Amino acid sequence: MTDRIAITGLGVVSPLGSTHPSTWRSLLEGRSGLRALDPAWSADLPSRVGGVSSFEIHALLEPHRARRLDRSAQMGLVAAQEAWTHAGRPSLAPERLGVVFGTGMGGLATLQEQLTVLREQGPARVNPLTVPMIMPNAVAAQIALFLGARGPLEAPVSACASGADAILWGARLLQQDLADVVVVGGCDALLNRAGMAAFGAMRALAGCDGPPEEASRPFDRDRCGFVMGEGAAALVLERPERARARNAPVHGWLRGGAVTADAHHITTPQPEGRQAERAMGQALEQAGVSPDDLQLVKAHGTGTVQGDHAEALALGRLFDGSAGARRPWLLAPKAAVGHLIGGAGALEAVLTVLCLREGLVPAQRNCPHPDPALPLPMPQAVSRLEGPARLALANAFGFGGKNVVLVFEGPG
């Protein structure tokens, strides 16, 4: 990536809050968004804890619009609206405004609901809006409709890497002069019987004993799977010259990014994290920085035994030549919010940008016994980032073996 991309707007709907300031404040205060699920529908599931979003649909979306959207798209649209407002609602030709918004599964809640309708009431009672509510590009299309965006419209579907994928796609549209402003992000809402049963059947979900807020344990010795979360996040990306011309506050910069594939297994990561390491190296090279320049690494860190260990090994090799240098902090936010699947990369990108902007790293939850392979320290209390040039690496890895790595810089 030859030019920095300005980040001028942020939006979030998460288990910690319905805006990006409330989510950030809750994270700094050490709160958890994980809780026990409603036993009325979860009692027989192998995992009964989740990161439930504090999303009040009627307060945030008009009823006529909300009825036409799956829950995942509702949250995605609200996050995009917040990011657009936060960016100052840029004025530009509709043909130069793009939308790139990803999801891992699309409208699974609507699909589950309408299959029940079909079984119990027959085909005549199936909602005629079912298809536009469940299609994976529904949220991207709804954001474009809301903003009147007639530029490029894309909907990356790359499992848990979808949100980060969307950010990189959006940056490339700007660099290729296909748009002047792009709204990017990701969402998912899989906290329902279908989603939880499917991931539970894979034995991917945490089934640990103990309080719900301690169930997600990225990189801890006693980790036992990931905790499903729901939510969305959005960012507004612009070229630097355009942001300067309209005197827009810049909350951070995207410096570089890279994508690789494991080509190893449809769900299990390559055990030694070789392709994840290659993606990190390529992203740093594109950004023109080295591992020694980083103050923060935002890990993918789902809390699965194999995934976390592979990422730890990859980070160990990445930082192998910097033994005498100050090591960056490592942050694994899924301990507090769960795993938002298609929304994870976007939410955690927003949190990374806020860490750099504010010069703070929240305390890491639920990791009293870190994996010995992990080469980086985790903050035990809210910690400060030192130095005027603040740089962070952000990892997002998805089923299918996709590795997306982004490099962010603070606004200073």
SS (H, E, C) 177-237: CCCCEEEEEEEEECCCHHHHHHHHHCCCECCCCCCHHHCCCCCECCCCCECEEEEEEEEEE
Domain boundaries, the chain: 5-245, 257-409
> Residue 228: which pLDDT band, with cuts at 50, 70 and 90?
very high
Residue among 300, 309, 355, 367 flagged as catalytic: 300
Distance CA 404, CA 396 (A): 5
Identify whether 355 is a catalytic site residue.
no
pLDDT digits (tens, 9 = 90+) for 41-90: 999 999 999 999 977 887 788 888 899 999 999 999 999 999 999 999 99
Give the bridge partners for 232, in sequence order.
13, 187
**Model pLDDT, residue 2:** 52
Other beta carbons within 10 Å of 207: 14
Residue among 20, 224, 339, 367 flagged as catalytic: 339
Q: Please tell me if the domain spanning 5-245 has the same topology as the one spanning 257-409.
A: yes
Q: Indicate the residue type of 178.
A: L
- Compute the mean pLDDT over every residue in the chain, rounded to the nearest whole number: 96
Residue among 86, 160, 187, 208 flagged as catalytic: 160
Identify whether 265 is a catalytic site residue.
no
Q: Report whether CATH 3.40.50.1000 matches the domain 5-245.
A: no
The candidate with the shortest Cα–Cα distance to 294, out of 215, 354, 400, 376, is: 376
Identify whether 160 is a catalytic site residue.
yes
> Residue 209: which pLDDT band, with cuts at 50, 70 and 90?
confident
Question: For the domain 257-409, what is the CATH superfamily, name and number?
Answer: Thiolase/Chalcone synthase (3.40.47.10)
Phi and psi, residue 407, nearest 5°: -120, 125
